[in-house]
Structure 1
């Protein structure tokens, strides 16, 4: 198929969103709407993408994939005006069909894009409009067809007659244009309307008047027409998208006892016979193996989890977890943590930028940061790796089969050898060799009958102070 390119309109300020950020940055399932659109384009094989930005471009541009270039629309004077800003991009791609898409329409997917492109090319159209049938078309532009089924116009609801308002086929806001026609048509657009704006929909009327071929690619999925103008609309998009993802996981053999508070990224993959409890959120690129028990109230972000893991009421971000691992409740795996098979992370444990070998146990109330722990290590309650001196981070290493007693401080950088034993309450500032016992604490001194004398002295001091 002929290589296509795309123009994405993302200059809308989203005034009704009441946000300082562009509307296209509002998120559906933790993902900016603009990235839904760019990802669908890339999945459809469209790698030449021009994004039209407006105010707040400095927030939008960093999230765009490398395949995107940008042009600015300083004043928002309508969709036609936005495409005018991309004239040079269109001129550079005269041999390609030009898709024009809204940056806040997350459900115009690769399937409908390819369908529209195929139809556009096969029918040698100058304009192809992606449409949908809505049960309630209120607020949408209607597709007006002639008796032979050809598209005659797109009529906005405020301009529609009563019979036209009864039409259920609506404009999704997504189009495919012949590049030469698009450049020529942009020159003919006017702004003599109540809004004083240049409407892209007027190109359909121009094409019809010039006897150019106009097609409608009708989607069977009404979601392609959905966007969001305010927070309530954005919530609706999230609810629709999340139900799609929950249904997808159910089809894949994932178990839910209750979906309250469950939010699933479209980029999440979960193995069969895994259970996701209430309040579980999978954000970004998440891979979870089979036979896991996740939740309740667990957040996993951009991480990989092996088979047979139990993760309860915990937060995991940008980490890799092996198989048969137990985590939680109330634990935190911060970025760049790697846990081997069979590791145990108990309640109130924080791991950051560290590796733990297989079957190492960190049962409770511990911080491990910037460290490499081997396999079969027992880490007692209250152990802290002291990794920061106020200016730099330092790394420590603990060998296999070591025992780290309760309330131990490992002042990095230190190296604890394999099979070493650190006594409880120690502050370790020097390396401990393999098979050594390290004791680093003050020697206990017991003073017989000290308490009675202490109390008597304190009582006398109190009486003296009253007499003054």
Structure 2
């Protein structure tokens, strides 16, 4: 028998989250809760993937279409329990082969544990197999009740459990592998004679057992894999656990993380060996950081690519490409479309957007570079502004190779500064500057002698000026 259908139960209201966002769409480590579960099942060879949706149907279905377009969704209109949700899923999919059922709010679950469950299930030809774990605080979980010979007898939900059953530490993960044909036959026998008036999928196990089927309980090593998320505190707990797991794996792979508690790396990011991550750093989204790079302290990289040997200090970068041995920061803001060449620099208090900076070029400090192309070996003086917006449209500026832009220049797009050209400090450049020329666009300086003594008499400035002959002229 092989895996035929994967059913993900994602219809819960999540009332304890106190959010307008459906529970399964809350994010940790770069993915939604549902996204983590779908990632865990992505390596399995099931033919069908069915997701049962309920609260926030439109939002969840749109998310599923984006991250798992091959999946089908089934709408659970009213709260009828996990058994009812599974009934709906089976009505629209094949019940041949193995049916895997799991919850959509268990972000720590791994594909390896799912494969282990399926291996036991298929090898033993069980009617059903349940993933279980020993939990140090089983409050809120269904308890695993075993018979005298150690086989699974039943699963009791906490709200229906006796005091003796509540003392059991082995709990249900909410992950099941079923013989599809036997599941389809048994699920129609479910009754809602419980405190919630719902159909419990767990009751199927007792039905299968009474019909002569054998049930396996597969105990996994680490209980954190089965942790569900029902409120904001559990969301934060799962995020911290996943952070620790990711950081531990990175350090084992040769990444230096100076302060693992304050360093967050999304599960969707890639960090190579010999990278150094300093405190307060967040490597987010699809970011890729190459060997030898140093990131931080207090830096954010979202959907960025960082080449070998680059350094990012106390900066926020989104959608940027940072070249080998390039330098960013401190207090730099790189926006989408920014590309820094090899050994280039975006220094202190620099903002860039849709800008390509050539190899060896530098924008050292206090500048805005938007909608621009800068060639190789150029230097952009302090407080230079690339004036790219006329109030209606954005315009592009081209700066050639080995150009020197004087401090406090304004480059009013669209213009081109030719190779080897200069601009004088304080210039407002509105026309092209030919290669090798210097662009000067500022008023001629005029000194009005004696002005302070006449206009600011009695001030300390006037007293200081009076000590000099030039200060008395005019």
Answer yes or no: same fold by TM over 0.5.
Answer: yes
Question: Among residues 86, 90, 111, which one is paired with 1:83 in the alignment?
Answer: 86
Rounded Cα–Cα distance in structure 2 between residues aligned with 1:20 and 1:312? 36
Whether the 8 Å contact between 2:97 and 2:181 is mirrored in structure 1 is: no
CA 1:45–1:309: 2 relative to 1, 3 Å: farther
Distance (whole Å) between structure 2 residues aligned to residue 344 and residue 48 of structure 1: 50
- In structure 2, the partner of 1:334 is 335
Equivalent in the alignment of 2:384: 383
| Other-structure match for 1:396 | 397
| Residue 38 of structure 1, CA deviation | 0.8
Unmatched segments (≥5 aa) in structure 2: 458-474
TM-score by length of 2: 0.90
Deviation at 1:265, TM superposition (A): 1.2
Selected match of 1:67 from 50, 66, 70: 70
Contact 2:244 2:261 in 1 (8 A): no
Deviation at 1:47, TM superposition (A): 6.6
Match of 1:9 in 2: 9
List runs of 5+ in structure 1 lacking aligned partners. 457-468
Tell me the distance in 1 between the aligned counterparts of 2:57 and 2:269.
29
Contact 1:370 1:387 in 2 (8 A): yes
Question: What is residue 134 of structure 1 aligned with on the other side?
Answer: 135
| 1:465 corresponding residue in structure 2 | none
Q: Who is 1:169 aligned against?
A: 170
Residue 209 in structure 1 maps to residue 210 in structure 2: yes
Query: 1:80, 1:186 within 8 Å by CA — same for their partners in 2?
Result: yes
Contact 2:3 2:99 in 1 (8 A): no
Q: How far apart in 2 are the matches of 1:88 and 1:397? A: 62
**Residue 48 (structure 2) aligns with:** 48
Q: Which residue of 2 aligns with 1:153?
A: 154
Aligned residues: 454
1:166 offset after TM fit, Å? 3.9
Which residue of 2 is the match for residue 21 of structure 1?
Answer: 21
Is the 1:324–1:343 Cα contact (8 Å) retained in structure 2? Answer: yes
DSSP-derived class of the 1:59 partner: helix
Preserved contact between residue 47 and residue 67 of structure 1 (Cα < 8 Å): no
Tell me, what secondary structure is at the counterpart of 2:131?
strand
Which segment drifts farther, 208-217 or 294-303? 208-217
CA contact (8 A) 2:3 2:100 kept: no
Deviates more, 1:140-149 or 1:14-23: 140-149
2:235 aligned with 1:222, yes or no? no
Q: Which residue of 2 aligns with 1:95?
A: 96
Contact 1:329 1:346 in 2 (8 A): yes
The 1:281–1:46 alpha-carbon spacing in structure 2 relative to 1, beyond 3 Å, is: farther
**Structure 1 stretch displaced more, 326-335 or 73-82:** 73-82
Question: Which aligned pairs between 1:246-285 and structure 2 lie closer than 5 A?
Answer: 246-285=247-286
Question: In structure 2, do the counterparts of structure 1 residues 425 and 4 end up closer, same or farther at CA, with 3 Å as the change threshold?
Answer: farther
The alpha-carbon deviation at position 162 of structure 1 amounts to 4.6
Match of 2:183 in 1: 182
